[in-house]
């Protein structure tokens, strides 16, 4: 079964970068928590990164939903900008391109060979020699 492999790989790699950016954002949030500023917003980058990786895996597992997975990947790429530094910008770009490729992916046509039977007339009998006599 054909799959949007290029789109999925770009989305997964972009998700890893977003996850790294989210981890940096979470560590920054932990440092702020030491000074008394607590917020759950700092963990959103990790969530966006994990969801982006899941979208890439879904592109491989369920290619029939490529349009939905691509659109969700684009939305997650945009959402990664404020919560994960855009996955260090590289994650944002890779996920954005992967989402666009998934949304525009077309299933290649199936290569099928059809054969149509044609009636063949019966062979003509050989000529009968005249009787000698």
Q: How high does pLDDT run on average in the chain?
A: 91
Average pLDDT over residues 54-62: 96
Rounded average pLDDT over 107-121 = 85
Check residue 37 and give its pLDDT: 79
HEC string of the chain equals: CCCCHHHHHHHHHHHHHHHHHHHHHHHHHHHHHHCCCCCHHHHHHHHHHHHHHHHHHHHHHCHHHHHHHHHHHHHHHHHHHHHHHHHHCHHHHHHHHHHHHHHHCCCCCCCCCCCCCCCCCCCCCCCCCCCCC
Two structure tokens written together for 4: 């949007």
Q: Can you give the pLDDT at residue 133?
A: 61
- Asked whether residue 40 carries a pLDDT value surpassing 80, the answer given is no
**Model's pTM, two decimal places?**
0.79
């Amino acid at each position: 079964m054909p799959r949007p492999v290029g789109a999925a790989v770009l989305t997964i790699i972009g998700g890893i970068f977003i996850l790294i950016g989210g981890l940096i954002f979470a560590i920054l949030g932990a440092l702020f928590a030491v000074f008394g500023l607590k917020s759950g917003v700092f963990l959103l980058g990790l969530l966006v990164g994990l969801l982006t990786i899941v979208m890439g895996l879904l592109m491989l597992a369920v290619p029939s939903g490529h349009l939905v997975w691509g659109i969700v990947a684009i939305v997650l790429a945009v959402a990664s900008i404020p919560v994960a530094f855009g996955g260090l910008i590289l994650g944002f770009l890779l996920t954005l391109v992967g989402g666009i490729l998934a949304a525009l992916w077309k299933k290649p046509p199936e290569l099928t060979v059809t054969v149509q039977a044609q009636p063949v007339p019966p062979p003509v009998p050989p000529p009968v020699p005249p009787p000698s006599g």
